[in-house]
Amino acid sequence: MKVLFVGSHLDKGGGQALQTLQLFRELRNRVDGEYLCLRSVGMHRDLLEGEDVRIVGTLRYPQGILDLRNAIQAERGDWDLVQVFDFYFGLPAAFLSRAFPRAVLFGTDPIAEVGWRFGTPVQAVAQVGLPGILKDTELIVNSLALANRFQRFSPVFIPNGLDLQRFERLPSRAEARRLLRLDPNAPLLVWVGKVVPIKRVEWILEILRELPEARFAAVGGYSEEHYGDQYYRVLRARYSDVMARAIFPGEVMLPEVDRYLAAADVFVFPSLFEGMPNAVMEAMAAALPAVVSDIPAHRAILRQGVTGFLARDPPEFAAMVSALLDNPELREEIGRKAREAALADFGFDRVCDRYLEVYRRMVGSTEPVS
């Protein structure tokens, strides 16, 4: 079976780009495949390496869509189906190229995402246009929350996966803190993501006000082309009283993300909305106890009080984080059970099996894919 995979940016990074590239690499072991993408300005250029990743244009509107469309049209006759990983560039490009059969993955809510980035008028246009774009398209979603959100399109739910071997090589807490030049003794909270309003980083800064001994590392970019750095600047001004205990290293390479996870005592993640957040899954795989917002995506990943904790507001966050910091045995137990759950549920083998089932159905094949 031959599959043409279509994304947008890789070198720019981001959880969705990293997840879909890893998924592509895993699927590439079982199908003949090529990944079409656009060049962007970012630090993850190593992700573009490999003969099976091809840059066909630059990440800019609307030219990037047209570049992807032209590449799909040029390649379409040589592929059994098209798998789209990006709804900003890849999905409209596949639609314009009239490439069928095609599948598209929603790793987050594209209608909500468009609204957060571009405002209500553009969101309304996207809402009206989505049914037409998804006509005769196999929709795949990575969370039950998204499956419910888009149930009228009869989506297939396939969860995200992780490269679990990555978390077998983590440094010790002491070594990670030495490498990152962090206080070797202070309680450390870690968060990973983009510093944008939907992530509610202010909740974590509220925790710092309640826990004067704690330190906080926010690992991820804090200036984004659509959001800018306004949110980050507001945080620094509003929480100037705790900023001496918070660090914002910006976007870093994956090995350094892993060091921050290894260095932490508690992972915190108060997002308003998520699809299936890699950041939380990675914290669990790193045996790091997590306190996360009580939203559907997190309820599907964590078992309350067993593999992590769900909190509804900053006071609940602070209470649960404080309980973990005060009890090393509880931290160890929750972290151990979280890792066991990650090893059981987040491996790529079962994820790839599900995708291949969808692909066989789409092309009418009964032959097993090796």
> Which segment, 68-77, 86-95, 305-314, is predicted with the most confidence on average?
305-314
All residues at 6 or more sequence positions from 72 whose CB lies less than 8 Å from its CB, including other chains: 4, 6, 36, 82, 93, 94, 97, 99
Distances (CA, A) of 336 to 92, 163, 211, 311: 43, 18, 25, 20
Reported confidence tier of residue 14, pLDDT bands at 50, 70, 90: low
Asked if 125 and 270 sit in the same domain, the reply is no
Average pLDDT over residues 161-171: 90
| pTM score of the predicted model | 0.84
Q: How many CA atoms lie within 13 A of 164 on its CB side?
A: 19
Asked if 138 and 13 sit in the same domain, the reply is yes
Q: Containing H/E element for 291? A: strand 290-293
Domain of 106, in residue numbers? 2-161+347-363
Are the C-beta atoms of 164 and 343 separated by less than 8 Å?
yes
**Is 213 domain-assigned?**
yes
Provide the number of structural domains found in the chain. Answer: 2
Average pLDDT over residues 281-292: 97
**Is 15 domain-assigned?**
yes
What is the per-residue pLDDT for 370? 45
Reported confidence tier of residue 139, pLDDT bands at 50, 70, 90: very high
Asked if 331 and 356 sit in the same domain, the reply is no
**Is 370 domain-assigned?**
no
Are the C-beta atoms of 8 and 87 separated by less than 8 Å?
no
> 226 versus 98: which is more confidently predicted?
98
Asked if 140 and 13 sit in the same domain, the reply is yes
Residue type, 236: R
Asked if 229 and 105 sit in the same domain, the reply is no
Are the C-beta atoms of 148 and 300 separated by less than 8 Å?
no
What is the per-residue pLDDT for 112? 85
Reported confidence tier of residue 226, pLDDT bands at 50, 70, 90: low
> Which segment, 50-64, 119-133, 234-248, is predicted with the most confidence on average?
234-248
User: For 18-22, 217-221, 295-299, 355-359, which range has the lowest pLDDT when averaged over its residues?
Assistant: 18-22
Asked if 79 and 138 sit in the same domain, the reply is yes
